[in-house]
Structure formats: structure tokens, C-alpha cells
């Protein structure tokens, strides 16, 4: 069974540019989560999809971040325009059910560097 | 509200000696707790989880953790460290509160484990 995949693995962009990160969850997992770790800080929740609906986007930093999950399969996270403080590692996770006891399966992350 | 504190940012042990990674949590509800590990250039992998069944939880690769409600702790241990255990470890609590945050993970700051030959 394929795990959670993320693309690209690394992205280096200049301030003001746009970047789109992609996450493919494990097939059949309705729940998809985005997390972010900026350097020196803990991993923090960004948002949660149940199928194609945004269930909780309380962790999104500001309106420069836009997440979508069309058709309830893969998800994209767009940053427009990127700022220096957006640099970090962006993780995606998926789980089959929406329960606190469920394991969330993580992808390898996308390392974003904004210059 | 919930929070997690990993008491050590770095732990260094010799191969073959015990490992102890400390974690304290705060949660308004009976928590679900996890330990994840991240090896260099890899994704986060689940080591073990506590979901209100047995308080002593066994995980992969010989790791285990004990849930102690009175101490609000969930420390991770392993009797004998191996070189391959060198990685960063995360203690995580999952929200059992109702509402939209149900199931949201809150991470500790991470503990980097170094294993010396």
C-alpha cells in the first residue's frame, strides 16, 4: 500500500512568488491534514479536510495560504505571495476515520525556502 | 486546550544503554497520546499510541511508554539503544474535545536522540 506522498520534496522561491504544494493521501482516507514546522519551532496544525470539505482551518496563518481538496482525493496548499517567514517544512497526513485515537499517517514533507 | 512539553531537546546515550525521553501533557479531556519518530530525510513514523486501554503501551523497535495520569506524563523508554535509533522523537496529544478541533494533533518540541558507539 502506497503511503502519503508529497510533491515537491524541496522548493526554493523568492519572496513574493507563488508556490503550490501537493499531497496525495493514502487511498481511501477521507481525512487529510496539513501541518508546518518552521525552524526551531514545534510542528503546528494548519488545517483538516474531511473528504473535500474544510473541517478546521484554525491553524492557517493568514489569507496568503489557500488549501483545496477537489474531489476529496489529493490536496494542494498554495502560498501567494510567499514571505520569508513561510519557510519551513510542510507535512501532510491522512487517516481513514475522524477520531482522536486514529493514527495519522504522515508524508515525508516539503521543505520550502523563501529567499 | 491541550499542550505537550518534551523536557529534553537533546538526549545522548551510548549504544546498548537505556533510553528515556520525557514527555508531559496537559489536556482538558482524557487524552490520546502518540510518539512519532522522524529519521533524517524521512517522514514521521508512528512508534506507539495510548488510547485509554492499557497504560503501558508497547511499540515498534522495542520502544514502550507508560501513561501516568497522576503525573500527566507519557515517557518513552527502550532498554537498550541501537545506532539506528538516532532520530528526532515527537510526543503528540490528540484532541478529544468535541467540535471542529476533534482529532487535531498538538506536538511537543521534539527530542533529538544521539546514539554513540
Cell digits for A47? 488545517
- What CA–CA distances, in Å, run from B53 to B3, B34, B77? 21, 13, 19
What is the residue-averaged pLDDT of chain A? 93
pLDDT tens string for chain B (117 positions)? Answer: 789 999 999 999 999 999 999 999 998 777 889 999 999 888 899 999 998 778 899 999 999 999 999 999 999 999 999 999 999 999 999 877 666 667 789 999 999 999 999
Nearest to B43 among A42, A99, A109 (CB): A109
Nearest to A56 among B34, B51, B100 (CB): B100
Helices (H) and strands (E) in chain A, counts: 0, 11
Q: What is the pLDDT of residue A99?
A: 79
Residue A60 touches partner B, C-beta closer than 8 Å:
no
Q: Check: CB of residue B18 under 8 Å from CB of residue B79.
A: yes
If we measure between CA atoms, which residue out of B27, B28, B33, B86 comes closest to residue B57? B33
Residue A29 touches partner B, C-beta closer than 8 Å:
no
CA B112-B116-B117 angle, 5° bins? 150
Residue A107 touches partner B, C-beta closer than 8 Å:
yes
Euclidean distance between CA atoms A6 and A10, whole angstroms: 10
Cell digits for A60? 492557517
If we measure between CA atoms, which residue out of B117, B53, B57 comes closest to residue B85? B117
Amino acid at each position: 500500500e502506497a503511503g502519503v506522498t508529497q510533491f515537491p520534496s524541496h522548493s526554493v522561491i523568492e519572496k513574493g512568488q507563488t508556490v503550490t504544494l501537493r499531497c496525495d493521501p493514502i487511498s481511501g482516507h477521507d481525512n487529510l491534514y496539513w501541518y508546518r514546522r518552521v525552524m526551531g519551532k514545534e510542528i503546528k496544525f494548519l488545517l483538516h479536510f474531511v473528504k473535500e470539505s474544510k473541517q478546521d482551518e484554525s491553524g492557517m496563518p493568514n489569507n496568503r495560504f489557500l488549501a483545496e481538496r477537489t474531489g476529496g482525493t489529493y490536496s494542494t496548499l498554495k502560498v501567494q505571495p510567499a514571505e520569508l517567514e513561510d519557510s519551513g517544512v510542510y507535512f501532510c497526513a491522512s487517516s481513514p476515520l475522524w477520531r482522536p485515537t486514529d493514527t495519522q499517517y504522515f508524508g515525508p514533507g516539503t521543505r520550502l525556502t523563501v529567499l | 486546550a491541550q499542550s505537550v512539553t518534551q523536557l529534553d531537546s537533546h538526549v545522548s546515550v551510548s549504544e546498548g544503554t537505556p533510553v528515556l525521553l520525557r514527555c508531559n501533557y496537559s489536556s482538558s479531556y482524557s487524552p490520546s497520546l502518540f510518539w512519532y519518530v522522524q529519521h533524517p530525510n524521512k517522514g514521521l513514523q508512528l512508534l506507539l499510541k495510548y488510547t485509554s486501554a492499557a497504560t503501558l503501551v508497547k511499540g515498534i523497535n522495542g520502544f514502550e511508554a507508560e501513561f501516568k495520569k497522576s503525573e500527566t506524563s507519557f515517557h518513552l523508554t527502550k532498554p537498550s539503544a541501537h545506532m539506528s535509533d538516532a532520530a528526532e522523537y515527537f510526543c503528540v496529544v490528540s484532541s478529544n474535545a468535541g467540535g471542529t478541533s476533534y482529532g487535531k494533533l498538538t506536538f511537543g518540541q521534539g527530542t533529538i536522540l544521539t546514539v554513540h558507539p
